Amino acid sequence: MIKTKRIIQEQLGNIKDLKIKTIDMDTTQSNEVLIEVHCCGVSFADILAYEGNYQDTPKVPFTAGLEVSGVVKDVGDNVKKFKNGDEVIALTLWGGFSEYVNVNEKFVLKKSKNIPHDIGSSMIINYGTALYTIFERLKCKKNDRVMILGASGGIGIASIELLKAIGCKVIAVASSKDKLDECSKYGADELILRKKNSNLKVELKSSLKENVDAVIDNIGGKDTLDSLSFLKWEGSIVPMGFASGKIAEIPANLVLLKNISIVGVFWGPFAKGNKSFNLNSISMINDFYDKKLIKISQPKLYYIENFMNAFDSIKKRESIGKVSLYTSKYSK
């Protein structure tokens, strides 16, 4: 019987109540792949889920963690595409903050040998969400001007890279010079500092060179409303996240005045039901990486036992790019 360390919440609420426990692994089912986890990506959704504030409320006891990179250690009787020793990335649909996890084979993909496990753990959600947003929902094209609020986060950096790969002009908005420097490193064309407690509309009015075709909004709250004024006729805004802790209420007349489209993106449920899109997405991302069109940002790594430091860096909006946990199985 395999034992695994796992970050467990017995009752949703305060993340300070989280504990590392060693438990017996469940038996690998006929359509599952047992993965030895080397790195697991951390997202704001994981924290919201532990707190009981996520759209899909999980049942307790609960372990978060939606994406992992690791090595196959066992396969179910009906699994034919994977074998022990394969290096893979996987969408776990929770349970990833663990040394081992069983994942349905349809959400497991072979990892390119050129991509190390730390980077592999930041590919699926950030780059998958960004790709779905840019290509499927916004249908961005060459020379489109796209502004990203909260541009230095994991999805923000992924969006910068993919937008630049297809020839768009990217305007990055972030809350510190260090964060903007990171956005610049990944190709952002215009950098706008969002000073603490400042008015975004004032900042954009003085700094933005030209109105934009689309806004990717990772912040929410009043910033969502302020950004609408800087959309072109028939522009689009995508509410991607609510790092400000507030959800904007958008007056209908503001949408009407410019024929603005509010485009929803909830990638998780889409990904669960669209295996072919997932496979094509990862294939495209691998191709972009191999052709050096994107770098795929290296995440900030925390040992799994130090998970609270990782969570705090995200909650306090101190992190730049992706954050991942690594286990004792990981080696560079």
Least confident of 23-27, 269-273, 305-309: 269-273
Q: Which residue has the higher pLDDT, 264 or 302?
A: 302
Report d(CA 99, CA 80) in Å as an integer: 24
**CA–CA separation, 204 vs 190, rounded Å?**
11
SS3 141: coil
Residue that has been written with the tokens 């904007």 in this structure: 248
Determine the average pLDDT of the residues in 88-108.
93
Q: Which two tokens stand for residue 193?
A: 């500092």
Instruction: Tell me how far apart the alpha carbons of residues 66 and 95 are, in angstroms, rounded to a whole number.
Output: 7
Least confident of 55-64, 199-208, 229-238: 55-64
- Which pLDDT does position 274 carry in this prediction? 67
Cis peptide bond upstream of 61, omega within 30: yes
pLDDT at 42 over 90: yes
Superfamily of domain 3-122+298-326 in CATH is Medium-chain alcohol dehydrogenases, catalytic domain (3.90.180.10)
* CB 289 within 8 Å of CB 147: no
The two structure tokens encoding residue 34: 């047992």
Percent of the chain whose pLDDT exceeds 90: 64
Instruction: Specify the pLDDT at position 291.
Output: 86
Distance CA 171, CA 208 (A): 8
CA distance 6 to 50: 14
Bigger pLDDT: 101 vs 115: 101
Predicted confidence at residue 265, as pLDDT, reads 86
Q: Is the pLDDT of residue 84 over 90?
A: yes
Give the CA-trace dihedral at 34, 39, 43, 47, to 10 degrees.
Answer: 70
Q: Cβ of 211: how many Cβ atoms within 10 Å?
A: 15
Range 305-327 average pLDDT? 91
Quick one: which of 138, 100, 104 has its CA closest to 5?
100
- Residue 267 above 70 pLDDT? no
Mean pLDDT within 245-271 = 83
Q: What CA–CA distances, in Å, run from 262 to 9, 135, 240, 290?
A: 35, 16, 11, 34
CATH for 131-267, among 3.40.50.1820, 3.40.50.720, 3.40.50.1100, 3.30.160.20? 3.40.50.720
Q: Is the previous residue joined to 116 through a cis bond, with omega within 30 degrees of 0?
A: no
Most confident of the following: 68-72, 286-290, 317-321 = 68-72
| CATH code 3.40.50.720 region(s) in the chain | 131-267
pLDDT score of 312: 93
Say how far residue 265 (Cα) sits from the centre of its chain.
12
Mean of pLDDT values over 213-235 = 94
Q: At what angle do helices 44-51 and 307-315 cross, to 10 degrees?
A: 100
pTM: 0.84
What pLDDT does 259 receive?
A: 95
Q: Give the pLDDT confidence score for residue 277 in this predicted structure.
A: 61
Backbone CA torsion sign across 148, 152, 156, 159? positive
Average pLDDT, the chain: 91
Coil, strand, or helix at residue 232?
strand
Quickly state the pLDDT bin for 254 (edges 50, 70, 90): confident
pLDDT higher than 80, residue 280: no
> In sequence order, which residues have a C-beta less than 8 Å from that of residue 254 and are 6 or more positions away?
225, 228, 260
